[in-house]
């Protein structure tokens, strides 16, 4: 595993995973009535989703070795 493509794919997968964690925690916070923190988690989730999408564009378009 060498080159930028596998490394970018790992980062993309990590961002997708963290975005799911933020989403699940936001739902938990809503269930216990902490909507303020749930909104923050939702914003963080969207940030990670966009990050993963940007990395995905690089993974798709970077030249293979």
pLDDT at 1: 61
- Give residue limits of the domains in the chain: 14-60
The 10 Å Cβ neighbour count of residue 8 is: 18
pLDDT at 23: 97
DSSP SS3 for 33: coil
Alpha-carbon Rg for the chain in angstroms: 15
Tell me: the pLDDT tens digits for 14-47? 999 999 999 999 999 999 999 999 999 999 999 9
């Amino acid at each position: 595993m060498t080159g930028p493509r596998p490394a970018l794919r790992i980062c993309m997968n990590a961002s997708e995973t963290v975005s799911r964690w933020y989403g699940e925690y936001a739902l938990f916070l809503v269930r216990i009535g902490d909507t303020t923190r749930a909104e923050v988690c939702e914003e963080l989730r969207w940030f990670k989703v966009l990050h993963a999408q940007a990395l995905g564009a690089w993974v798709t378009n970077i030249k293979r070795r």
